[in-house]
A and B are shown apart, each in its own frame.
Chain A
Amino acid sequence: MSRFGNLLMSAILCGCTYTLVAIGYCLFFGVLDVVVFCCGDIAIFGAFSIIGAFTIIWSAGVFQAVPTVVAVLILLIVASILCAVLGLITYRISVKPFEKSSALMPLLSTIALGVVIKEVLGLIFQPVINSMATSVVRVDDPKTVVGGRNPQSMPQLIAAGGSTLTRNLIIIVVVALILLALFFFLNKTKLGLSMQAISQNKELALMTGVNVKSAIRWTFIIGGVLLAIGGFLLGNYQTIIRFDGGTMYGTKGFAAAVVGGLKSTWGAVIGGMLLGFVEVFTAGLVPGGTKFQNVIAFIVVIIFIVFKPEGIIGEKIAEKV
């Protein structure tokens, strides 16, 4: 591939990872009007769930016994369930108790929860998983999965043994499919529509007969699953996962969501891609630009906040009474 092609591929992949986290922010912000800041950490937790589940089912001999696709699906289901539960816990312990207080409280408490998730992953993931796994785990190429605290290497589950191009394309296609599914879900299903309704007018949604409480719970479940898949793709793209990586993804994902308009899913996609493109092209084309890539990315974010505070997709609709 040409140099430009390479950069384009990196930018899209980088954008994909930010997009998935950004969508998490959008969903949660949509139904609750609060920023749930531990989205990045939930995604990282998802990736660690995959590693943990993989290690366990590999040493139990299950992974080798079934076709890889089935095994990967099992892993994804396990991680999705764990992340959905974590999503619910997030809602229950660090959002719901502050329903009636200022929006700063859940912001602070979800930041705190993010730190807890991060530190717990860093401190107890290794010993717990190592005690459950009976053998050192290797996948097709000799690659120890368990060992070292940070970074943690991710089992190569997408296009194992294949070329990186195949893997990258699969990741992009999966992200595209997730976006399509999400679009369908939000616009065609009752739950999706009620989530949109809550996002646009919570009081009216209540009056319309939407079960708001259950819709919020479902949002956290769906958000959790989405972030689990996000963590899985992220890990496979990077080949490793850092337990403390969630903070960075959280911040970037949040920035992408803000650029896109916070309540708009498509805005999150555009915001994520924008951030990915700015970062990668700064690092790839400007000589010595790598150390400035985050600076420039966030300058772009600030410019957007200043000149288009409602977001790229966000529409200025002032509803006067």
Chain B
Amino acid sequence: MKKRILAIGVTVCMIAGMVLTGCGGSGGSGGSSGGDGKVVKLGFLSPITGANAAEGAAARNAFQMAIDQANESGDYDYKIEVIEIDDKSDPSTGVAGAQKIVSDPDVVAATGHWNSGVAEATIPVFKEAEIPMLIWGAIASDLTSKDNYPWITRSAPTDVQENVPLAKAVLDDMGYEKVFIISDTTSYGQGNSKAFKAELADRGLKEVGFEEVQEGTVDFRAILTKVKSSGADCVYWGGVVTEGSLLKQQMYEEGVNALFCGISGNYSEDFLKIPAEAAEGALVVKPGIVLDSTEDGKKFIEDYEAAGFSEPIGAYTPYAYTAAEILLQALKECGDDVTPEAMRDAIANGSFDGIMGTTTFDDIGQTELVAAYLNVVQDGKWTVYDDSEYADGTRTFGGK
């Protein structure tokens, strides 16, 4: 009896396996027989369904739009096709998709992932198959590394990199010098405090105080007495909104006269749950660009809207478009000899102009372009700094 059940089970599995591979095979051949003459394929992975579908699908739209524009332009002697994979924000689905991409001989490069966890799972697949992968949307800092370079590169800035534009704004443009650094003890918090300390050191400055708190801390009052006595004019918060909003509120309550600044982990509606007058003047950097502030950006919005996609432009949609721009320019660099190796070198060493600025990669394949803009809480709402009353001097931050 048991043997018979086992036999039936095995048979069912085999049939299911054949059906599945059969489908995959026919899908693949259908794709490659679509074009006339030479075809070059690019892989694209994003969560098109599932919890992060809004960002993932919009990114897919933008990427496809860029490829379509390239095919229409006639600049390429071959047809560029996209193998589109829905990773569902799930690492194992992502790995299956990555394997499908690398098993296609026409593929020369891939770009993928909004979720860092999925990227972490697929990176070994691309490295082993020697297909260059450009990460367009996952931001965990350890995805790009010496080990992964040069096969893995990333055009999105990591969260820690956001400290660069923040430091530039706060230290160079606004002229704060006495910074008190507070962060949480997570790797995120420590990475940030380290990055901001490095920024200070580059300018010959040193923080006037440094404290680390545990995640979930609700009482910052003891630290704030230190902040006061240190004479700090700026408090840098290296954590996220949960504790950050409380810190800002208690700074207000305790009458700490200093600027509060932090990176994008604080940019959240949750920050506005504290009273408006307590939240007022919190300065937070957010990655990306204000699209309609540049000509290229405006054109991107127009094109995207003209294409009639059902998903609106998300925070990371321009990043997917940028990734497409980088791959397309790399293809051009390669000329007639389009191979994964050539693409790898073209991406890692090139300099690429796009809607977010000029992208170059550092020695571990991490982008050096950190497009970001400042936001400030004004009257209980997040406002783009450049449009706020702080930029024109009507209002001033603490500590000045």
Q: Is A211 an interface residue (CB 8 A)?
A: no
Complex Cα distance, B224 from A120, in Å, reads 34
A291 and B275 form a contact (CB under 8 A): no
Contacting residue for B225 out of A6, A147, A148, A288, CB 8 A: A6
Binds B, one of A186-194, A217-225, A240-248, A260-268: A240-248
Q: Is B368 an interface residue (CB 8 A)?
A: no
Compute the total of residue contacts between A and B using a CB distance below 8 Å: 87
Indicate the size class of the contact surface on chain B.
20 to 34
Task: Say how far B209's CB is from chain A's closest CB, in angstroms.
Answer: 7
A148 and B270 form a contact (CB under 8 A): yes
Complex Cα distance, B269 from A32, in Å, reads 46
Closest to B224 in A: A6
A10 and B273 form a contact (CB under 8 A): no
Binds A, one of B104-112, B215-223, B289-297, B320-328: B215-223
Given A284-B226, A290-B213, A291-B212, are A143 and B273 neighbors across the interface (CB < 8 Å)? yes
Contacting residue for A291 out of B185, B224, B228, B242, CB 8 A: B185
Q: Is B214 an interface residue (CB 8 A)?
A: yes
B214 and A291 form a contact (CB under 8 A): yes
Complex Cα distance, B225 from A14, in Å, reads 15
Q: Interface of chain B, helix or strand or loop or mixed? A: helix
Q: Residues of B contacting A245 with CB < 8 Å?
A: 216, 218
Q: Is B249 an interface residue (CB 8 A)?
A: yes
Interface residues of A in 151-199 (CB under 8 A from B): 151, 153, 164
Q: Is A142 an interface residue (CB 8 A)?
A: yes
B216 and A283 form a contact (CB under 8 A): no
Q: Residues of B contacting A294 with CB < 8 Å?
A: 214
Q: Residues of A contacting B274 with CB < 8 Å?
A: 143, 153, 239
Q: Residues of B contacting A9 with CB < 8 Å?
A: 221
Q: Residues of A contacting B242 with CB < 8 Å?
A: 150-151
Q: Is B276 an interface residue (CB 8 A)?
A: yes
Q: Residues of B contacting A280 with CB < 8 Å?
A: 221-222
Task: Say how far B248's CB is from chain A's closest CB, in angstroms.
Answer: 11
Interface residues of B in 220-254 (CB under 8 A from A): 221-226, 228-229, 242, 246, 249, 253-254
Q: Residues of B contacting A316 with CB < 8 Å?
A: none
Task: Say how far B377's CB is from chain A's closest CB, in angstroms.
Answer: 12
Task: Say how far B385's CB is from chain A's closest CB, in angstroms.
Answer: 22
Q: Is B124 an interface residue (CB 8 A)?
A: no
Contacting residue for B254 out of A143, A151, A164, A240, CB 8 A: A164
Q: Is B211 an interface residue (CB 8 A)?
A: yes
B225 and A141 form a contact (CB under 8 A): no
A147 and B254 form a contact (CB under 8 A): no
Closest to A247 in B: B216
Task: Say how far A177's CB is from chain B's closest CB, in angstroms.
Answer: 23
B225 and A3 form a contact (CB under 8 A): yes
Complex Cα distance, B226 from A144, in Å, reads 30
Task: Say how far A321's CB is from chain B's closest CB, in angstroms.
Answer: 49
Binding site for A on B (CB under 8 A): 185, 209-214, 216, 218-219, 221-226, 228-229, 242, 246, 249, 253-254, 269-270, 272-277, 380
Binding site for B on A (CB under 8 A): 3, 6-7, 9-10, 14, 141-144, 147-148, 150-151, 153, 164, 238-240, 242, 244-245, 248, 279-284, 287-291, 293-294
Residue pairs across A and B with Cβ atoms less than 8 A apart, 13 shown, are A3-B228, A7-B222, A142-B380, A143-B275, A147-B269, A151-B246, A164-B253, A248-B216, A280-B221, A284-B223, A288-B210, A290-B222, A291-B213
